């Protein structure tokens, strides 16, 4: 079975953006069409959110302040929302085959949050962040990574 056959959904995600695409041709020359784009509503960073240094009680001493964890938490929430959306669409039958493309961290978060029936529809995973790449580059990467196995007569 070929991972990118016609009708396969491809979801390319990072912690802030997800592209939902469908292959409308065959696996040998895929033509991905963007079905929808989901983006996180990112709050604007405030100067008080920056990591920095604060004065200590000693003379001319400062100590480092750790960067806030809200960005990491926001990415985790976005991946949860993405998994919920994939679960709803997958359980309704919107797709039969799914390819996930994301960083290893995001793939791991998604895998843990996908319903078993939806996870069974995942035919391939590509551990690479491609959300900001042009569509033709995405098609090239997927074609290279998901080459069908050669058939022997």
pLDDT at 92: 97
pLDDT higher than threshold 70 for residue 1? no
pLDDT in tens, 8-23: 999 999 988 999 999 9
More confident residue, 49 or 107: 107
Name residue, tokens 């939902």: 20
Instruction: Supply 130's token pair.
Output: 């491609």
Structure confidence at residue 147 (pLDDT): 73
Q: Is residue 47 pLDDT above 60, yes or no?
A: no
Q: Strand 17-23 relative to strand 52-55: parallel, antiparallel, unpaired?
A: unpaired
1, burial (CB in 10 Å: exposed 0-12, middle 13-18, buried 19+): exposed
Domains along the chain with CATH numbers? 9-41+69-145 (3.30.420.60)
List the structure tokens of 9. Answer: 């959904």
């Amino acid at each position: 079975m070929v991972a990118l056959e016609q009708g396969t959904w491809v979801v390319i995600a990072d912690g802030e953006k997800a592209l939902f695409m469908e292959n409308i041709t065959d696996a040998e020359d895929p033509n991905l069409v963007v079905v929808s784009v989901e983006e996180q509503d990112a709050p604007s960073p405030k100067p008080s959110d920056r990591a920095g240094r604060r004065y200590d009680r000693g003379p001319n001493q400062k100590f480092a302040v750790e960067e806030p964890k809200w960005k990491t938490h926001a990415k985790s929430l976005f991946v949860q929302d993405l998994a919920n959306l994939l679960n709803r669409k997958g359980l309704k039958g919107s797709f039969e085959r799914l390819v996930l493309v994301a960083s290893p961290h995001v793939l791991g978060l998604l895998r843990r949050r996908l319903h078993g029936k939806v996870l069974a529809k995942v035919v391939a995973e590509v551990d690479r962040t491609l959300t900001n790449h042009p569509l033709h580059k995405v098609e090239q990467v997927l074609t290279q990574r998901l080459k069908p196995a050669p058939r022997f007569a």
